[in-house]
Structure 1
Amino acid sequence: MVFLVNFARVVFAPLLEPLKAAFGVGDATVGLVATMVWLGSALPRIPTGYLLTRVPRHHVVLGTGVVLTSAAAFTALADSIPMLGAGAFLMGASSGAYFIAANPLVSELYPDRVGRALGIHGTASQLAAVAAPLFVGVVLATTGWRSVLGLLAVVAALTTVVFVVVARRSNLPEAGAADRDLWTAFRRQWPIILSGVAIIGATGFVWNGLFNFYPTYLRAEGLAPGTANLMLTVTFAAGVPAFWLTGRLADRLPHVPLMLAILAAFIACLLAVTAARSVVAFVAVSIVLGYVVHSIFPALDTYLLDSLPDENRASAYALYSGIMMVFQAAGSSVVGALTDAGFAFDEVFRTFALGLLAILAVLVVLHHVNRLPTEAATSLEEGTG
């Protein structure tokens, strides 16, 4: 299931150029469509957190499969940009609700090795990002963009049925049974929630804008369309070992220093992208970039889910995830608007790198003076810092 919901989020990156041609629009418009996917992934997260205080986690996961199936079929039939945007939003919504329900469930299934379990779960998710450009390329060579989404709807329907069968035969954990108050979770855990948002919000915004326009950017740098799409695949493929290995590292290393080191490495990679000028250079930087940026997700999820107590875990995670995803979602539309306004991709990405560098400096100072929490509040604390 995680493979499909992430596929639904990333499939629009290799579809942006075909959608521009099909609907006769520019970068800003298709960038907005891509933003709708991520906005859809952002907005249901806090409501899903509230829903999880009333409904078992696996029931919510089942519901996301139904939503994804319907949304993909709807989007495949889109005959206008508003309809396409609405479908993209719903596809994103299925993924947002899924991760809020499934990530706490995974951490509760394997409480003694949270980082490893989340790493494996994230690896399956990342395989979808690797497969998306290849799958889209094959389908576009034979039919059209509508077939991509139609096939997604069919597979999502079949997978949802399989999930129902497996869930009925499994003994699921009850660790989150006491998690029944979203507001209490926020009052108790707001320091670690906001710390997570500070670390990932701007980073996700930049990454969202970069990867959705990565093939377009590389074409502007002189690479052939096929090579540009391959570079996106390379970047996503490098994320597979990142989830696997960093999930294990997150079980062994101090959480905050690990995340800040990854953020510093991402800034360096972003600058390296704008400095690359040959195919070999783009291959090298795409591999390193893909590994680095995808390392931050298992590191941050482990930071939160490994330390949040049972009675706050899903609610606090939903609040963190919903807030940070709002920041991430706008990345594509902002990049599209800036390039349509005449700014070069290199200018945009270098400016983003400088902004991230300023944020990193603030976070390092806060960590040095012990103002970034290293763990969640306990069940007996009220989260004052």
Structure 2
Amino acid sequence: MVFLVNFARVVFAPLLEPLKAHFGVSATVIGLIATLVWLGSALPRIPTGYLLTRVARHRVVLGAGIVLTVSAGLTAFAPNITVLAVGAFAMGTASAVYFIAANPLVSELYPDRVGRAIGIHGMASQLAAAIAPVFVGLLLTMVEWRDVLKLLMVVTAAVTVVYFVVVGRTELPDAGATDRDLLTAFRRQWPIILSGVAIIGATGFVWNGLFNWYPSYLHQTKHLSLETGRTLLTVVFAAGVPAFFLTGRLADRVPHVPLMLSILGGFIVCLLALTAAQGLAAIVGVSLVLGYVIHSLFPALDTYLLDSLPDENRASAYAVYSGLAMIGQAAGSSIVGALLDAGFLFDTVFRTFSIGLIAILFVLVALHRADRLPTAAATS
């Protein structure tokens, strides 16, 4: 299930150019479609956290499968750009519902190995991101974009049925039984929630704007073909597969905050290196390191929160953190599209973003040295 919900979020990256041509819209409009997927993956997260105070986690995961099946079908048969936008938002919604319910569930299934469990779960998610660009690109040589989404609809329906059968035969933990008050969770855990948002918010915004436009960026700025650009997007995502697993294990062994700040610094270096890289070999090398570094941040952050938060606050506090963080991230692709339409070059945009991230990192390091960034959640 995690493979499919993440596939639904990243499938629009290789589809941007075909959708732009089919509907005859601008870069700003088609960038907004990608943004709507991520807004859909952001806005319902806090409401899902409230839902989890009333409904068992495994049932919410089942609901996510149903939502993705229906929304993929709606998007596949979209007659115009408006319906496409609604379907894209709904596909993102399915991922929001899934991750807010499933990540706490995974951490509660393996309470002594949270980082490792989150890393494996994230690795399965990342496989979808790694496969999507090349797989979709291959499909587009044989079928049209609608058929890609129809296939997603059919496979999701089948997997949802299998999940329903398996969960009925599995003994599930009741660690979240006391997590019944979203507002209280936020009031108690706001320091660690806002620390997580500060680390991932702007970084995720830049990453969203980068990967959704990656093939176009490499084509227009580095003079590579769109097919090569899609392949290198796969390289970026594929490098994240071991990153989830290895960093998840590492997060169980080292202090969380220094690990996260180090990864953020590494991402800034990689982004600047990408704008400077020339030639296929250099771009491939930077893409590999970039993919590993940025995808290391996600299991590090999730372990930081889920390993620290107590049972009575875990899902609620995680939902608030995730919802606040995702709202800022979602606009990345549309902002990049708007800047392109305004006449700015890709490299100018990404270098400016890097300067902003450097400023944020400087502030976070200063706060950490002053012992103002929490290293653990509040206890009851």
TM-score by length of 2: 0.99
Cα offset, 1:139, TM superposition:
1.3
> What amino acid is aligned across from residue 27 of structure 1 in structure 2?
A
The answer to whether 1:210 aligns with 2:210 is yes
Match of 1:237 in 2: 238
Which amino acid counterpart does residue 4 of structure 1 have in structure 2?
L
1:224 matches 2:220: no
Structure 2 distance, partners of 1:23, 1:10, is 20
Number of the residue aligned with 1:323: 324
Q: Deviations over 1:114-158 (max 9, x none)?
A: 000000000000000011112211211111000000000000000
Cα distance in 2 between the residues matched to 1:175 and 1:360: 35
CA RMSD of superposed structures (Å): 0.5
Q: 2:276 is matched with which residue? A: 275
- In structure 2, give the amino acid aligned to 1:36: L
* Cα displacement (A) at 1:200: 0.2
How far 1:53 moved relative to its partner?
0.2
Give the counterpart letter for 1:323 in structure 2. Answer: L
1:233 alignment partner AA = T
What's the counterpart of residue 357 of structure 1? 358
How far the C-alpha of 1:266 sits from its partner, in A, is: 0.2
Distance (Å, rounded) in 2 between the aligned partners of 1:105 and 1:214: 33
Q: Deviations over 1:220-248 (max 9, x none)?
A: 12001211111100000000000010000
Query: Which residue of the partner structure matches residue 104 of structure 2?
Result: 104
Report how far residue 40 of structure 1 moved.
0.2
What letter is aligned with 1:222? H
Residue 21 (structure 1) aligned with residue 32 (structure 2): no
Q: Supply the distance in 2 between the matched residues of 1:225 and 1:168 (Cα, whole angstroms).
A: 45
2:74 maps to a residue whose letter is F
SS of corresponding position for 2:41? helix
Amino acid at match of 1:324: A
Q: Does 1:373 align with 2:374?
A: yes
**How far 1:91 sits from its partner (Å)?**
0.1
**Cα distance in structure 2, aligned partners of 1:35 and 1:65:** 21
Are 1:145 and 2:161 an aligned pair? no
Structure 1 residue 346 corresponds to structure 2 residue 347: yes
Task: Determine the C-alpha separation between the residues in 2 that align with 1:50 and 1:370.
Answer: 32
Secondary structure of 2:111's counterpart equals: coil
Q: Which residue of 1 aligns with 2:334?
A: 333
**Structure 1: how far apart are the matches of 2:79 and 2:276?**
40
1:161 aligned to 2:157? no
Give the 3-state SS of the residue equivalent to 1:54 in structure 2: coil
Give the aligned residue type for 2:235: V
Residue 25 of structure 1: how far off its partner (Å): 1.3
Segments of structure 2 that go 5 or more residues without pairing to the other structure are none
Matches for 1:190-201 after TM superposition, within 5 Å? 190-201=190-201
Q: How far apart are the structure 2 equivalents of 1:262 and 1:13?
A: 24
Moved over 3 A (4+): none
Whole-Å Cα distance in 2 between the matches of residues 267 and 59 of structure 1?
39
Letter paired with 1:161? V
Alpha-carbon offset, residue 277 of structure 1: 1.3
Residue 79 (structure 1) shift: 1.6
Q: Which amino acid aligns with 2:283?
A: F
Aligned-partner Cα distance in 2 for 1:278–1:30: 29
- Hey, what does 2:44 align to over in structure 1? 44
Give the structure 2 partner of residue 382 of structure 1.
none
> Amino acid of the residue matched to residue 160 of structure 1?
T
The residue type equivalent to 1:120 in the other structure is I
Deviation per residue, 1:148-180 (Å, 9 max, x gap): 000000000000000001100000000000000
Inter-partner Cα distance in structure 2 for 1:325 and 1:228: 26
Letter in 2 for 1:75: T
- d(CA) in 2 for partners of 1:82, 1:357: 38
Give secondary structure in 2 for the equivalent of 1:142: coil
Find the aligned partners of 1:267 and 1:110 in 2 and give their Cα distance. Answer: 33
Which 5+ residue runs of structure 1 have no aligned equivalent? 380-385
The Cα offsets for residues 19-50 of structure 1, whole Å up to 9 and x where unpaired, read as 11111112111100000000000011000000
Query: 1:288 offset after TM fit, Å?
Result: 0.2
| Alignment partner, residue 298 of structure 2 | 297
- 2:359 counterpart letter in structure 1: A
Look up the match of 2:187.
187
Paired residue type of 1:119:
G
Amino acid at match of 1:313: R
CA distance in 1, matches of 2:128, 2:162: 18
Q: Which residue of 2 aligns with 1:94?
A: 94
Please give the alpha-carbon distance, in whole angstroms, between the structure 2 residues aligned to 1:148 and 1:86: 17
Residue identity matched to 1:190: W
- The aligned length equals 379
1:64 aligns to what?
Answer: 64
Cα distance in 2 for residues equivalent to 1:74 and 1:84? 8
Q: Distance in 2 between matches of 1:67 and 1:330?
A: 23
In 2, Cα distance between equivalents of 1:138 and 1:217: 20
Alpha-carbon separation, structure 2, partners of 1:152 and 1:212: 19
Q: What percent of counterpart residues are identical?
A: 73
**C-alpha deviation, 1:204, in angstroms:** 0.2
Letter in 2 for 1:5: V
**Per-residue displacement from partner, 1:35-69 (whole Å, max 9, x unpaired)?**
00000000110000000000000000000000000
1:383 is matched with which residue? none
2:129 and 2:364 map into 1 onto residues whose CA distance is: 30
